[in-house]
Amino acid sequence: MSRIDLHLHTTHSDGSFRPSEVLALAKAASVTALAITDHDITSGLPEAIASGEALDIEVVPGVEISSFDGRSELHILGYYIDWQDSLFNDRLASLRASRHRRNPLIVERLRAEGLEVTYEEVQALAGTDAVGRPHIAQLLMKKRYVSSAKEAFDRYLAEGRPAYIARELPAPAEAIAWIREAKGLAVLAHPTWVKAAGSELATCIAGLKDQGLAGIEVHYSTHTKSQTTAYLNLSRQFNLLVTGGSDFHGLTKPDIGVGTGRGNLRVKPDLLTAMKEASIR
């Protein structure tokens, strides 16, 4: 049964498979269209587009930008962006610079915990400019300080743990504006990250919509049926597009497959029709 997957990471950020490898996995999973949404970088798109042509998979140019609204870290996906736009890429480079300011501080904390790691080792392992905590987790796995990325986050890297350092992040409004100025659609990724009780969630979504949000990632690997229904209702209430994706990363999230998530994800191809129409308006 055909499906799409609008949330995928590659080696150009913190995924462990190259764009061409992700496209091959997509083909095997009957994915007919996908978006590569690396964190803060568009450098994986040329390879993805070329593989898409070879494998007859439609490739939507994408990106995922981390933002902070004062309470929650909100990830904003950008679709159909003009990914070669120089202003947009300069803005993404400024986000990567904030990673390079934060990451050595994380490494310092890890060393204070007695782990022998250097930022040079992290950068060598990452092999990209968009270096993230999952790369640090991979290094800790490689050095056998932990046996999984989850353990690295639970023991050291997650908020509240000894090596957690916050990164300077743009406000959601700014991330949305950058995507819109690059002619893209801004979509709220994994909406469970919104820290909100009761009606606060709807208030948050309404605020984001006022700032230019175009859609919500309703379908997502970890969503329960009731979460999917709740986000679907919110998207209807605020006239937002419905999107969906696995958030595939490869080795650092080994339970998530391209196109299938934890096995029960299926994002229907017809969702793309509404997105395409909205993107050319």
Distance CA 252, CA 134 (A): 7
The radius of gyration of the chain from alpha carbons, rounded to an integer in Å, stands at: 18
Alpha carbon 141 to its chain centroid, in Å, reads: 22
Per-residue binder mask for Zn ion (CB under 5 A), 10-29, x = binder: ----x---------------
| 133 forms part of the interface with Fe ion (CB under 5 A) | no
Print the binding letters for residues 59-78 with ligand AMP: x by CB under 6 A, - otherwise: -------x------------
- Report 137-176 residues binding Zn ion (CB under 5 A): none
- 58-68: strand order across its sheet: 3-8, 31-36, 58-68, 73-79, 185-188, 215-220, 241-245
Residue range at the interface with ligand AMP (CB under 6 A); choices 131-139, 210-218, 231-239, 271-279: 131-139
For Fe ion, the closer of residues 103 and 246 by Cβ is: 246
State yes or no: residue 220 binds ligand AMP (CB under 6 A).
no
Q: Please check whether residue 185 is in contact with residue 209, taking contact to mean a CB–CB distance below 8 angstroms.
A: no
Binding-site string for Fe ion from residue 53 to residue 82, where x marks contact by CB under 5 A and - marks none: -----------x----------x-------
Q: Which does 219 bind (CB under 5 to 8 A by kind): Zn ion, ligand AMP, Fe ion, none?
A: none
- Sign of the C-alpha dihedral computed for residues 49, 267, 191 and 240 taken in this order: positive
Closest contact distance (angstroms) between CB of 141 and Zn ion is: 16
Q: What is the spatial distance between Cα 98 and Cα 106, in angstroms, rounded to a whole number?
A: 13
**In the complex, least distance from residue 279 CB atom to Fe ion, rounded to whole angstroms:** 20
Query: In a 3-state reduction of DSSP, which class is residue 258?
Result: coil
Residues 246-275 interacting with Zn ion (rule: CB under 5 A): none
How far apart, in Å, are the Cα atoms of 109 and each of 104, 105, 106?
Answer: 9, 6, 5
Cβ contacts of 253 within 8 Å, gap of 6 or more: 149, 247
Of 172, 203, 170, 200, the residue nearest 186 (C-alpha) = 172
Residue 150 found at the interface with ligand AMP (CB under 6 A): yes
Query: Does 217 sit near Zn ion (CB under 5 A)?
Result: no
Q: Which residues bind ligand AMP (CB under 6 A)?
A: 14, 39, 66, 132-134, 149-150, 153, 158, 167, 249, 252-253
Q: Which residues bind Fe ion (CB under 5 A)?
A: 64, 75, 189, 247
